[in-house]
């Protein structure tokens, strides 16, 4: 029954991907518009909340995929499919960032020095373990957290779920303890984000195990939306008062833990709100195709939104047209260009990058 349920598609997940990437674009728009559009009384740090949604969805979908395979679960095949799905496009994004931002200095004057260690750690998705010894290529830290999550999942998912959960909680506790010990030592490395976002991923895995088709979540979404909505609103003044910002914090401290809690609560509130709204009002058929399309392109949008925005706004500055008013007016146009470019990047990934990655993997494994 669980396997049969896990094969059913859930349209709300597409909606959540679109909302998640919209929150990221909304958050990063401040660096291109030159002003802060954040509505502090409603939601702060929307980009990290959007990534919280993605981490939760990733854990949920990983476990659903695992349940489909049941006793036929193969760690290597599982990882191969996941790596081919995300790594080729990710490596292309690293190349674009380095050329455009580091060497050509288009719009952003950012140095990724030391360049060789920075590229190698990002290519191997180990950058969060070596922060701040290597530079961070903007926005790509998310993959540096997701790949270790995938590796840990593939290693432990072969066990019974209770064992899987116990092992992962043990790993989380050990990582938390080691990070505190590192923070108390003269050595500063390992970004706290890789630890503090992992419970969100685990929560997605747990929900998929208990409710693969989200039937219970859909049925109870009304009262759960109210509870998490009130908690999210109550959290806002705490975040504002303590100036909590996990993104700029390398150390595992009270503020970073509070920030993680804020992002988790807001992510769950948005997730539940989407399920409640679609349950109450349904979905307009005319919106299904565009939402599905945006969802399919969301990975490319995430990886390439900064380079594309930077290229367009860099052109404005080169023409001495970089005023805030002009940048603000151009932002919707730049976003449409981003969506169109991401569509073709996704097609290129499906038709060119993934098939070549498959061929390489077959040669390596034979």
* DSSP 3-state percent helix, strand, coil across the chain (nearest 5): 80, 0, 20
Q: What are the pLDDT tens digits along the chain (366 aa)?
A: 344 443 467 999 999 999 999 999 988 887 787 765 555 556 677 888 999 999 999 999 999 988 887 777 888 888 888 999 999 999 999 999 999 999 998 887 788 999 999 999 999 999 999 988 899 998 899 999 999 999 999 999 989 999 999 999 999 999 999 999 988 888 888 888 999 999 999 999 999 999 999 999 999 999 999 999 999 888 777 665 555 555 456 788 877 888 888 889 999 999 999 999 998 888 888 889 999 999 999 999 999 999 999 999 888 888 888 888 888 888 899 999 999 999 999 999 999 999 998 888 777 765
Q: Which residues contact 338 (CB under 8 A, 6 or more apart)?
A: 25, 301, 304, 305, 308, 309
Q: Is 266:292 a contact under the CB 8 Å cutoff?
A: no
Interatomic CA distance for residues 31 and 50, integer angstroms? 17
Task: Please give the tally of structural domains in the chain.
Answer: 1
Predicted confidence at residue 243, as pLDDT, reads 52
- Location of structure tokens 């151009």: 330
Predicted confidence at residue 245, as pLDDT, reads 55
Phi, psi for 250 (deg, rounded to 5): -90, -25
Interatomic CA distance for residues 198 and 165, integer angstroms? 12
Distances (CA, A) of 87 to 47, 126, 226: 22, 13, 38
Q: Is 175:192 a contact under the CB 8 Å cutoff?
A: no
Residue 148: count other Cβ atoms within 10 Å of its Cβ: 16
The DSSP output letter for 44 is S
Predicted confidence at residue 185, as pLDDT, reads 87
Helix, strand, or coil here: 100?
A: helix
Residue 260: count other Cβ atoms within 10 Å of its Cβ: 23
Predicted confidence at residue 145, as pLDDT, reads 95
Interatomic CA distance for residues 43 and 103, integer angstroms? 36
Query: Residue 161 sits in which domain range?
Result: 2-365
Predicted confidence at residue 37, as pLDDT, reads 58
Helix and strand numbers (H, E) in the chain are 15, 0
Q: Which residues contact 180 (CB under 8 A, 6 or more apart)?
A: 252
Enumerate the H helices of 136-253 as residue ranges.
141-156, 161-183, 193-196, 198-210, 215-242
């Amino acid at each position: 029954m669980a396997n049969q349920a896990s094969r059913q598609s859930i349209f709300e997940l597409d909606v959540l991907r679109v909302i998640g990437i919209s929150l990221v674009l909304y958050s990063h728009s401040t660096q291109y518009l030159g002003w802060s559009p954040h509505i502090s009384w409603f939601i702060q740090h929307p980009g990290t909340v959007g990534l919280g949604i993605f981490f939760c969805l990733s854990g949920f979908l990983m476990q659903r995929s695992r349940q489909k395979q049941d006793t036929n679960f193969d760690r290597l095949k599982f990882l191969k499919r996941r790596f081919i799905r995300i790594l080729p496009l990710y490596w292309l994004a690293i190349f674009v960032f380095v050329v455009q931002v580091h060497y050509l200095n288009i719009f952003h004057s950012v140095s990724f020095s030391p360049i060789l260690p920075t590229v190698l750690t990002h290519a191997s998705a180990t950058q969060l373990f070596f922060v701040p010894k290597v530079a961070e290529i903007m926005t790509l830290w998310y993959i540096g957290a997701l790949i270790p999550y995938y590796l840990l999942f593939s290693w432990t998912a072969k066990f019974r779920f209770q064992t899987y959960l116990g092992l992962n909680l043990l790993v989380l506790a050990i990582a938390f303890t080691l990070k505190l010990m590192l923070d108390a030592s003269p050595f500063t490395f390992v970004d706290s984000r890789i630890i503090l976002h992992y419970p969100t991923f685990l929560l997605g895995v747990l929900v998929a195990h208990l409710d693969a088709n989200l039937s219970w979540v859909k049925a109870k979404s009304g009262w759960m939306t109210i509870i998490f909505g009130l908690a999210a609103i109550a959290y806002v003044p705490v975040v504002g008062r303590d100036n909590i910002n996990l993104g700029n914090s390398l150390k595992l401290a009270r503020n970073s833990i509070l920030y993680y809690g804020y992002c988790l609560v807001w992510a769950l509130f948005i997730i539940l709100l989407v399920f409640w709204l679609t349950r109450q009002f349904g979905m307009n058929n005319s919106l299904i195709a565009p939402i599905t399309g945006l969802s399919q392109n969301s990975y490319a949008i995430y990886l390439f939104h900064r380079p594309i925005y930077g290229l367009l706004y860099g052109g404005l500055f080169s023409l001495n047209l970089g005023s805030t008013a002009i940048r603000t007016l151009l932002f919707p146009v730049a976003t449409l260009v981003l969506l169109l470019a991401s569509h073709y990047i996704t097609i290129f990934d499906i038709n060119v990058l993934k098939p070549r990655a498959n061929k390489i993997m077959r040669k390596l494994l034979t």
